[in-house]
Amino acid sequence: MLSAFSCPERELSCIIGNLFIELEPPCSECGKEPQGIKLCGTTYTGDKAVLTISGDRFYYSGPQADIDRLREAGCVQWLNHNRNF
């Protein structure tokens, strides 16, 4: 399922850096809608996903729980350094 989001660039940068553990060439997505910069690869849960940056939006096709967790958590680095155990 394709989901559309709008967020500040700093949030999108954080999402990209924490979503994918491996990137792949986007050849299979070439020419598909939506048009834009396509990032394809394996997410931190081991699933395949595609993130497309187009204008002030990004589009995500992959496990919804993966993107929801990152958007709800905020900055992962900040959380890792500020946890109370």
Q: DSSP letters of 14-73? A: HHHHHHEEEEE--GGGTTPSSPSEEEEEEETTS-EEEEEEETTEEEEES-HHHHHHHHHH
Q: What is the pTM of this model?
A: 0.81
Residue 25 structural domain? 2-81
Q: Which comes out higher in pLDDT, residue 7 or 80? A: 7
Residue 70 in this model has a pLDDT that exceeds 90 = no
Kindly report, residue by residue over 9-40, the tens digit of the pLDDT: 888 988 998 999 999 999 988 888 889 999 99
Name the residue among 23, 8, 21 with its Cα closest to residue 71.
Answer: 8
Is-contact 9 55, C-beta < 8 A?
A: no
- Count of domains for the chain: 1
